[in-house]
Amino acid sequence: MNTTNSTRGKITVLGAGAWGTAVAIALAARHDVLLWGRDAAAMQDMAAARENTHYLPGFALPPALSVSGDFDAALAHLDGDEPLLIAACPVAGLRPLLGQLKSRAIPNVVWLCKGFEYGSGLLPHQVVREVLGESVPGAALSGPSFAQEVARGLPCALTVASDSKALCERVVKLVHGGNLRVYSSDDLVGVEVGGAVKNVLAIATGVADGLGLGLNARAALITRGLAEITRLGAALGGNLNTFMGLTGMGDLILTCTGDLSRNRRVGLELAQGKKLDQVVAELGHVAEGVPCARAVRELAAKLGVDMPITNAVAEVLFDGADAKASVVRLLARDPRGESA
């Protein structure tokens, strides 16, 4: 996967967590990239150390990568040919970040977050439209991707989804290259549902692995989990083919089996009897599957979509249910046709 792209763009990444930093590192080899974080002091330390010691330790920032805590400077960096604005915040931070952008002249916005906004039940593209309206082209960039591997330069395939063909083409033009491969889609709903719900299912597989239930159980959870993703995605208008692709099955397999998965780690720790607050505190990063489980449970109930694995995860996370007992209840469900 050594495809190169000679087009040089002006890219600003808003959000200096692990994933935002990894994307900035990967793109800085080919473009003029500025990485912004809201903590000005932390960004000064990062600029001095040339490393994100808190969220992505062990990966040196390329000399060409600019680092700043100045929001005005971050947006001014986009002045030039081929600008691309990337929002690399968690779902919970998307609306506040968009609020900062609302009064600014921005060329586009591409978000990396995966989940449903808790409270509203909205997908990221719906939050973007609600805050910025229809005038700013927007896109989701998603797929099976661990920050550490992208920062290391290992091969990775992603999907960009947008109802703007021009923005899809720009993202492919700028991001595709080196060891990053980018496919395009017009199915925003399908891409975002897959990216959101797979995090919940990764908690489930982590619990099963932590309980020592074996590889057969893990395979069953992944497969039936994909059925849940597909049911919810179809109810929201997603394309069924999307769930068989990178942002559905691909991301699900990675997050449920990879040891770098934060959500899988949450499940592993819960299986050892730890409380959720302790697990999240020790993790030190956002595990999107935790708030997403609550949002998806409420949305599925509203839509009448059967999601037993998701419901079991939410019971363990929020209702005080015992992890092992929840697995037993899942296994005791009445038999049915596999397509149900």
Comparing 70 with 325, the larger pLDDT belongs to 70
**In this prediction, what percent of the chain has a pLDDT beyond 90?**
89
| pLDDT tops 80 at residue 336 | no
Report helix, strand or coil for 50.
Answer: coil
Residue 306 dihedral angles phi and psi, to the nearest 5°: -80, 115
Helix/strand number for the chain, H first, E second = 15, 10
Whether 100 shows a pLDDT value over 90: the answer reads yes
Of 159, 160, 82, 87, the residue nearest 128 (C-alpha): 87
In a domain, 325, yes or no: yes
Cβ atoms of 221 and 208 closer than 8 Å: yes
292-310 core/surface letters (b: 16 or more CB in 10 A; e: else): bbbbbbebbeeeebebebb
Among residues 186, 208, 243, which one ends one of the domains? 186
Find the mean pLDDT for residues 8-36.
Answer: 97
Over residues 312-331, the pLDDT tens digits come to 999 999 999 999 888 878 87
Place of tokens 């992505």: 56
User: What integer pLDDT is reported at residue 329 of this predicted model?
Assistant: 83
pLDDT in tens, 149-201: 999 999 999 999 999 999 999 999 999 999 999 999 999 999 999 999 999 99
pLDDT at 115: 96
- CA 178 vs CA 29, 55, 58: distances in Å: 9, 24, 21
Q: In total, how many domains does the chain have? A: 2
Please write the tens of the pLDDT for every residue from 282-316: 988 878 999 999 999 999 999 999 999 999 999 99
pLDDT band, residue 2 (cuts 50/70/90): very low
Which domain range does residue 66 map to?
10-186
Last residue of a domain, one of 131, 153, 186: 186
Looking at residue 284, its pLDDT comes to 81
Minimum mean pLDDT range among 116-125, 224-233, 234-243, 281-290: 281-290
Contact, 194 vs 252, CB < 8 A? yes
Mean pLDDT score, 65-87: 96
Q: Say whether both 71 and 98 belong to one domain.
A: yes
The whole-angstrom separation of Cα 301 and Cα 316 is 17
Q: What is the mean pLDDT of residues 1-27?
A: 87
CA distances 279 to 208, 262, 282, Å, are 16, 10, 5
Same domain, 277 and 313: yes
Answer whether residue 37 is part of any domain.
yes
Q: Clarify whether residues 297 and 155 are in a common domain.
A: no
The pLDDT assigned to 335 comes to: 74
How much is the pLDDT for 104? Answer: 94
Claim to verify: residue 146 and residue 193 sit in the same structural domain: no
Residue 340 has pLDDT above 70, yes or no: no
**Whether 18 and 146 share a structural domain:** yes
165 is catalytic: no
**Residue 284 lies inside a defined structural domain of this protein:** yes
The helix/strand/coil state of 3 is coil
- Same domain (yes/no): 148, 239: no
Whether residue 98 is found in the same domain as residue 231: no
Residue holding tokens 């998701």?
A: 310
CATH of the domain at 142: 3.40.50.720
Answer yes or no: do 150 and 85 share one domain: yes
What mean pLDDT, rounded, does the chain reach? Answer: 94
Over range 239-257, report the average pLDDT: 98
Q: How many residues does the chain have?
A: 340
Q: What pLDDT sits at residue 1?
A: 45
> Of 134, 162, 186, which residue sits at a domain end?
186
Q: Catalytic: which of 198, 274, 302, 324? A: 198
Average pLDDT over every residue of 235-240:
98
